[in-house]
Amino acid sequence: MNYRLLGRTGIHVSPLTLGCMMFGGRTSAEDSYAIIDRAIAVGINLLDTANVYNDGRSEEIVGDALRRNGHRHHIVLATKVHGNMHKGDGLDPNRAGNSRRQIIEQCEASLRRLKTDWIDLYQIHRPQPECPIDETLRALDDLVRSGKVRYIGSSTFAAWQVVESLWVSKEYGLNRFVTEQPPYNLLDRRIERELIPACKSYGFGILPWSPLAGGFLSGKYRRDGKQPEGRFADGTHQRAPALLGSQRAFEVVEALRKIATEKGFALSQLALAWTAQQPGITSPIIGPRTLEQLEDNLGSLELKLGPEDLARIDAISPPGDVVVPFYQASFGPHEIRW
C-alpha cells in the first residue's frame, strides 16, 4: 500500500478510502464488519461515514467494528455533518445545516455513535449559503481546540467557497479546512476546471466521492432497459433517468470497457485506478455493498495507467467535461455552478 499525504496535515492515508454509506442499510452489520476488517487488513486506514447515513446506523456499525477489532488508534476516522437527523420532528426549523447549534449537537451525537473520544476528520457535508462560513468555522474551531476533532474539511464545495473559507480562517485566526470531498468520475470531470487547481494551490487533500458513478462505471447497466440489481435498476434513484437515458454515457462505458479488457482488468477497476491516479487526488472513496465488491475495488491498486492509456481515456471523456452531472449545486443568489 503506497500511502499518501492527506493535504498539508502530515498524516498518511491509503490511496483508497473505505466509504461506509451502505453499512446499516443494504449491507447488514455482520457483512459490514467483514468489509471493514478486510479493508484494514490490506492497509486501508481512512474510513469515511456521515451522521445521515442510514439515520446514524452507519456510524454505529463503524464504531462497533473498530471496538471489536481494536484498530481505532490506527484508523483515520472521518464523518460529516449537515443533513437532517430529526426527520420526524416537523416543528423544529433548525434540524439541519451548518450553524453552530447544529454542528456542536451533531458532533456530540456522532462521537456517541462512533464510540470514540475524537473524530480525525470532521467534514461539512454540503455548503449552506444562508449560513455565513465564519459561523461554521468558529464552531469547528472550538471542536478542534477542545480535542474532539483533529482536522476539518468540506464536501461538494465550489472552488470559490473553498477559497472563501481559507480567507475567513486567516482573517479570524481559525483552524482551516484541510480536505475537500467532491463528486468526480469519468462521467463528470467538472472539478478539473477550477476546484482541483484551487485545492492543489492551497494544499487541500481531495477525497472524491462516487468515483464509479454510483456503480454505472462497473458496466453492469444495459441500454435495453433490462437492468440488473443495483441502485439505478428500478429507475427511482435521482440520477437514474439521466444515466440510463444517456446514450453518450453508455458509449463512454463501452469505449472504456475495451481499454480495460486490453489491460486485463475490469471496467470498474480501470475507472477507479484512473481517478486515484489523477493529479491532485488523494484518496477516492469506494462504497462497497459486499465483500466481493471490495475485492474488485482493491484490484484497481494493481493497475498502472501510462501516458498512452491516459490519452486514450481523455479522448473518450475529455478533461473538464461532463456527460452526466453528479451534483447540481445551488450556491445562493449568485447561482454559480461548476
10-residue stretch averages of pLDDT, the chain, 338 residues long: 96 98 97 98 98 97 98 97 84 87 97 98 96 97 98 96 98 98 96 97 98 91 67 57 84 97 97 98 98 98 98 98 77 39
pLDDT score at 88: 72
pLDDT score at 94: 84
Query: % helix / strand / coil in the chain, to the nearest 5?
Result: 45, 15, 45
Torsion of the alpha carbons at 156, 82, 79 and 179, rounded to the nearest 10: 30
DSSP classification of residue 23: B
Show the beta-strand stretches assigned E in 51-157: 76-81, 119-124, 149-155
Report which of 200, 157, 202, 152 is spatially closest to residue 177, judged by C-alpha positions.
Answer: 152
The residue annotated as part of the active site, out of 53, 151, 184, 221, is 53
d(CA 22, CA 227): 20
> Residue holding cell 481494536?
70
pLDDT score at 174: 98
DSSP string across 289-302: SSHHHHHHHHGGGG
Q: Which three cell numbers stand for residue 110?
A: 456522532
pLDDT score at 226: 61
Is this structure's pTM higher than 0.85?
Answer: yes
d(CA 104, CA 126): 16
Exposed, middle or buried: residue 225 (CB in 10 Å: 0-12, 13-18, 19+)? exposed
pLDDT score at 57: 98
pLDDT score at 328: 63
Runs of H (alpha helix) within 4-98 = 29-41, 57-69
Confirm whether 53 is a catalytic residue: yes
d(CA 255, CA 110): 43
Class of domain 4-213+278-290: alpha beta
pLDDT score at 245: 78
Report which of 54, 36, 4, 2 is spatially closest to residue 280, judged by C-alpha positions.
Answer: 4
Please say whether the beta carbons of 80 and 113 come within 8 A. no
Pairing of strands 205-206, 285-286: unpaired
